[in-house]
Structure 1
């Protein structure tokens, strides 16, 4: 969710809106609405800054190192003062069953670097209940 706030003209607002919620999140010469980072307990990290390429083969090759990618989103609505939408993140490998950090920073919307601790045990338990989608 983002709010235009005071001091942001309509043209800048719609440019930000397109960059954040458009089909190509990095469509403008290296600009990004923000970045997300996962830091594992062993110090390794995955970030959306990496912007690794899609794989054309199925199943894809096993990635090297941790990966955090933005996936599709949706559910957007708004006007020239307010917008709300979402997208999902894909993380590989699964985090260990212990707490780890998720960080987000979105300078475009003046969101400072913010850390949140996530429960790796809850994520590992949920992954253990997952079922294959295709038989």
Structure 2
């Protein structure tokens, strides 16, 4: 017998149920999405590229995978550091909206969702009708003396199925005028048919 052998068992604790999650707050945790391999440029210039790589479609919404790369030109070391600082910033960052990255989605019926706006809170669940576009993370980023690259994932709710949806981006601080790419409602609908639940019980 050792010093710790006779420790009492902790009392059983009540089982905590899985909390209910609002559809606008993020993708379902029990689904394997259908993926649309978009692979289209939102912006493509000698200095900067931004692209929509893919869309992960869930039963309630979709995740947009956006990437960007900026190449160094004639910037001084100080100017290039400023570019790198901007290149890692996302909507809702400390950069003002007039120079930082702005991302939005236009639905076929004219409704808009903009990522830089505050998202709803859990106290607004009954009143949220959407659409909602929010950043839910990214694939990180890297930079050196020649280029800076980064990415972001955006959750769009509700799922746009009726007609084509437009993803719009603008980044004045990096010289990127407003540009967009179209997401086909037909492709989204087909991917929705490939969504699989983890469990059926």
TM-score bucket of the superposed structures, by smaller chain: 0.7 to 0.9
Q: Tell me if structure 1 keeps the 8 A contact 2:139–2:150.
A: yes
Counterpart mapping for 1:1-135 below 5 A: 1-6=69-74, 8-21=75-88, 26-28=92-94, 30-31=96-97, 33-52=100-119, 55=121, 61=125, 63-132=128-197
Flag as ranges the 4+ runs of structure 1 deviating above 6 A.
none
- SS across alignment from 1:49: coil
- In structure 1, the gaps of 5 or more residues are none
Residues in 1 aligned to 2:111 and 2:91: alpha-carbon distance in whole angstroms: 25
What is the number of residues matched between the two proteins?
A: 130
Q: Which has a greater percent of helix? A: 1
TM-score with structure 1 setting the length? 0.75
- In structure 2, the gaps of 5 or more residues are 1-68
Shift in Å, 1:12: 3.7
TM-score with structure 2 setting the length? 0.54
Higher radius of gyration, 1 or 2:
2
